[in-house]
């Protein structure tokens, strides 16, 4: 049985390009982001991968990325489940701020702590720990059971919601996951055993 799980971060968004904290805001993809999503679809097609079910967040940049990937695969119309549980980390009061301006206002060190600590949230927002606390129960109840049934599954989501999943899948510590950079529009292919443990991983950015 092929227990396949593919994770892909959305392509570059308009706010990624402007270096803004995005969180739950809903900017569209840039032209580059559209190309990244199409390339992800081409990479998966070249590997002759197809899917039985897809998951994505409640935000259009992830949904559009998934649509473009499925178009390349000739799988438009694939059963797709959208859920807020897979949304990006909520940056609270930082949402919409330029990251350089935030450093000027709050100080380099404080912004670094908000961005790169595991359990310190920005004002009014979520830490990575809090993000994981909504992502992982959803993964365990909705996504993993389908993978274990042999349904080939693709998840299009966001840098931090995917970090939470990768931390679980690869059994990483908070320190290790915070150092993990996820490229936009780059698929990571996991194959799992019957217990849901990873037996192989292939990052197509590598």
To the question of whether residue 92 is assigned a binding role by annotation, the answer is: no
To the question of whether residue 191 is assigned a binding role by annotation, the answer is: no
DSSP 144-191: HHHHHTT--EEEEE-HHHHHHHHHHHTT--HHHHHT----TT-EEEEE
> Known catalytic residue: 158?
no
To the question of whether residue 134 is assigned a binding role by annotation, the answer is: no
> Known catalytic residue: 112?
no
**Total Cβ atoms within 10 A of residue 65:** 29
To the question of whether residue 159 is assigned a binding role by annotation, the answer is: yes
To the question of whether residue 88 is assigned a binding role by annotation, the answer is: yes
CA-based R_g, the chain, Å: 16
**Total Cβ atoms within 10 A of residue 103:** 16
To the question of whether residue 99 is assigned a binding role by annotation, the answer is: yes
Name the DSSP class of 85: G
- Catalytic choice (36, 72, 88, 126): 88
Residues 51, 42: Cα–Cα separation, whole Å: 14
To the question of whether residue 180 is assigned a binding role by annotation, the answer is: no
Do residues 166 and 158 lie in contact, with contact meaning Cβ atoms separated by under 8 Å?
Answer: no
- Catalytic choice (10, 36, 126, 168): 10
To the question of whether residue 23 is assigned a binding role by annotation, the answer is: yes
To the question of whether residue 114 is assigned a binding role by annotation, the answer is: no
To the question of whether residue 19 is assigned a binding role by annotation, the answer is: no
Residues 31, 35: Cα–Cα separation, whole Å: 6
To the question of whether residue 15 is assigned a binding role by annotation, the answer is: yes
Characterize 79-102 residue by residue with b for buried, 16 or more Cβ atoms within 10 angstroms of its Cβ, and e for exposed: ebebbebbbbbbbbebbebeeeeb
Residue ranges for the binding site for substrate?
Answer: 9-16, 22-23, 61, 88-91, 99, 115-116, 159-160
Residue ranges for the binding site?
Answer: 9-16, 22-23, 61, 88-91, 99, 115-116, 159-160
Q: Show which residues are catalytic.
A: 10, 88
């Amino acid at each position: 049985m092929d227990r396949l799980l593919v994770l892909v971060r959305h392509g570059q968004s308009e706010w990624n390009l402007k270096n803004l904290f995005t969180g739950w805001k809903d900017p569209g993809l840039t032209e580059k982001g559209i190309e990244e999503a199409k390339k992800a679809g081409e990479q998966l097609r070249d590997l002759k991968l197809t899917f039985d079910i897809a998951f994505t967040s409640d935000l259009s940049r992830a949904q559009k990325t998934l649509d473009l990937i499925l178009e390349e695969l000739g799988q438009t119309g694939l059963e797709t489940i959208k859920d807020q549980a897979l949304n990006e980390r909520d940056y609270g009061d930082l949402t919409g701020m330029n990251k350089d301006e935030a450093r000027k206002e709050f100080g380099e060190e404080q912004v670094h702590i908000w961005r790169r600590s595991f359990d310190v949230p920005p004002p009014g927002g979520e830490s990575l720990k809090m993000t994981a606390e909504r992502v992982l129960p959803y993964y365990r109840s909705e996504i993993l059971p389908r993978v274990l049934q042999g349904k080939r599954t693709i998840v299009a989501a966001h840098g931090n919601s995917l970090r939470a999943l990768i931390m679980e899948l690869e059994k990483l510590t908070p320190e290790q996951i915070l150092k993990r950079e996820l490229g936009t529009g780059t698929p990571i292919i996991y194959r799992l055993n019957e217990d849901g443990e990873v037996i192989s991983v292939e990052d197509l950015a590598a």
